[in-house]
Amino acid sequence: MQHVLIRSWFLFPLLLQLHAAPAAQQPHPLHEFRALRWELAHCKRRLIFNNDGDDVIYRKNDPTPAGLLAERTTPLAGSQVESIFYSNSLCFGDALHDSKVFKPFTSKEYIFKDNCLPELMSRGLAPVQIMADFGHRHGMEVFWDMRMNDTHDAGLSGYGPYLLTKFKRDNPAMLCGTKDKQPRYGSWSSVDYAHPEVRELAFRFFEEACTRFDIDGIELDFLRHACFFKTVAQGGRATQAELQMMSDLVRRIHRMTEEVGVKRGRPILIAIRIPDSVEFCKGIGLDVETWLAEGLVDILSGTCYFRLNRWDTLIGLGHKHNVPVYPCLSESRVRVKSRFQRNSTASYRARAMRAWAAGADGIYLFNYFNPRGAIWRELGDPEKLRTMDKLYFVTVRDGDPNRYLVNGSQYCNLPILTPKSPLPISANKALAVPLVIGDHPPKAQREGWRVTATCHVQTDAGEQLRAVLNGTALLSPKAQDGWL
């Protein structure tokens, strides 16, 4: 008899093809081209690897293509990764290639002393093209990714001042605030997309990528960071006019990808990464439902600092419009020392299994940069995951949606339960905490597996607690070292 230990924790832990791009061909008639675009959008992508581009500016190896690839990419050959999304922008106005639109980030000051972009540029090399060449050699597609409003430059100390772009220094009126007068929501260094100059620069940056590099698609990352309009940063909601501004930009980018794609004989797909609530998105200026209904989006992924809904909400939204959906698993930032770790391999397995069970088309990994990590050869196969140990948590990401939108937490339909955000237990009232798992224990048992689930509760209560899981009373041991 084989034995599977499915681990989870509540605070509560419960222990419980894509192919290389073809060479350019003769342009297709538009209807055939759109059919091919749809086909490519629906190719199977077991895992998407988002590389934030920091391998260029913090490199440890030689400033060569082989050295750059060795940082995070080469060991992925033969893994379940079928798509690489490569971030080619830092904060708005800086680029990680020899751009004619944004300014190349060539600084070697402070912690950027090992930045190898200048050396690569001097040899006529661009990091994203290095990634595309590698991906196509190994049967992977490669997307060029733009962080739509990255604000790592908002810090007044540390690396913040070194990342503040020339565009932002020269155009303070196009920002959502100032160092001395910071907005209530988002970051002061966010560009305000209400300005046509901002939207024009963003468009031209995408256009440059599509016309210069042999990429398979582009990603509009609206989660780095989710502040786009000064009206929202000051405590309002995006106006209808602002929603229209952003939608027109997405329409223009989509039209450009068709024109460039037809000319080169191969489609350029559009992916977006967004918060997982339609109404939250509208509040910050993203009319996502309209984009999906108009066919402007080929691939949908969602969540990052915070998650608002169960996965079936985002997946249902995409599938309603026949768009594949890739739940994004970002690293946990619940950093309190604990007996159980949210960034463990067992936790990633549980998170991926939840997403697969909800109908995901694949898994998107963000801020996970160990190319030799086991997850690259595990998370993309739900059948393999079924028989592996997992660690389920009630809450993995606990970022605050109020950080970007007034009353943003009203759209949160998930419990928040972490060491820093405990839930009180009353002697005369039961506390119900939902814990969704992606496994199917009865099926596993029918197949001959012995499934064991152990519930762990962290508590400061000295007395015994009574716990019930799915209607079954659990043992009630006394707490030891703060744990049941």
Q: What is the mean pLDDT of residues 463-470?
A: 80
Structure tokens at 482: 């703060």
Q: Is residue 109 part of a domain?
A: yes
- Global pTM? 0.93
Is residue 454 one of the residues assigned to a domain? no
Q: Minimum mean pLDDT among 225-229, 388-392, 480-484: which range?
A: 480-484
Inside any domain, residue 474 = no
In a domain, 410, yes or no: no
Is 358 inside any structural domain? yes
Mean pLDDT of 424-442: 89
With 0-12 CB in 10 A as exposed, 13-18 as middle and 19+ as buried, what is 155? middle
Give the integer Cα–Cα distance in Å for 383 and 80. 13
Number of C-beta neighbours around residue 181 at 10 A: 7
Q: Residue 10: name the closest of 343, 308, 340 by CA.
A: 340
The answer to whether residue 71 scores a pLDDT higher than 90 is yes
Is 341 a domain residue?
Answer: yes
Percent of the chain with pLDDT over 90: 81
What pLDDT score does 433 carry? 93
Q: Which one-letter amino acid corresponds to residue 189?
A: S
Least confident of 16-25, 53-62, 310-319, 387-396: 16-25
- 458-475 as b/e: b if 16+ CB within 10 A: beeeeeebebeeeeeeee
Res 196: pLDDT:
99
* In-domain check, residue 364: yes
What are the DSSP calls for 159-182, one per residue?
Answer: THHHH--HHHHH-GGGBS--SSS-
Phi, psi of 7 (to 5 degrees): -100, 145
Q: Which helix (H) or strand (E) holds 206?
A: helix 196-212
Q: What is the mean pLDDT of residues 198-210?
A: 99
Segments forming the whole domain that contains residue 280? 24-388
Q: Of residues 463 and 183, which shows the higher confidence score? A: 183
Q: Tell me: the pLDDT tens digits for 4-32?
A: 333 333 344 544 444 444 455 555 588 99
Q: What is the pLDDT of residue 235?
A: 99
Cβ–Cβ < 8 Å for 435, 467: no
Residue 8 has a pLDDT of 36
- 120's tokens: 């690569």
pLDDT band (50, 70, 90) for residue 282 = very high
Return the pLDDT at 24.
52
Domain with residue 103: its CATH number is 3.20.20.80
* Mean pLDDT confidence for 194-216: 99
Check whether the bond before 225 is cis (ω within 30° of 0). yes
What is the overall mean pLDDT for the chain? 93
- Per-residue pLDDT reduced to its tens digit, 442-458: 888 899 998 898 888 88
Strand ranges, E, within 369-459: 390-393, 449-455
Residue 476 is assigned to a structural domain of this protein? no
The total number of structural domains in the chain stands at 1
Give the gyration radius of the chain's Cα atoms: 23
The pLDDT value given to residue 1: 32
The least confident of 127-136, 140-149, 445-454 is 445-454
For 85, the token pair is 């999304």
pLDDT digits (tens, 9 = 90+) for 360-406: 999 999 999 999 999 999 999 999 999 999 999 999 999 999 999 99
Phi, psi of 2, rounded to the nearest 5 degrees? -85, 160
Q: What is the reported pLDDT for 456?
A: 87
Q: Which one, of 305, 300, 211, lies nearest residue 250 by Cα? A: 300
Q: Distance (Å, rounded) from C-alpha 393 to C-alpha 350?
A: 8
Place of tokens 């222990």: 15
Residue entry with tokens 């067992």:
346
User: Residue 121 in 3-state DSSP?
Assistant: helix
CB 2 within 8 A of CB 449: yes
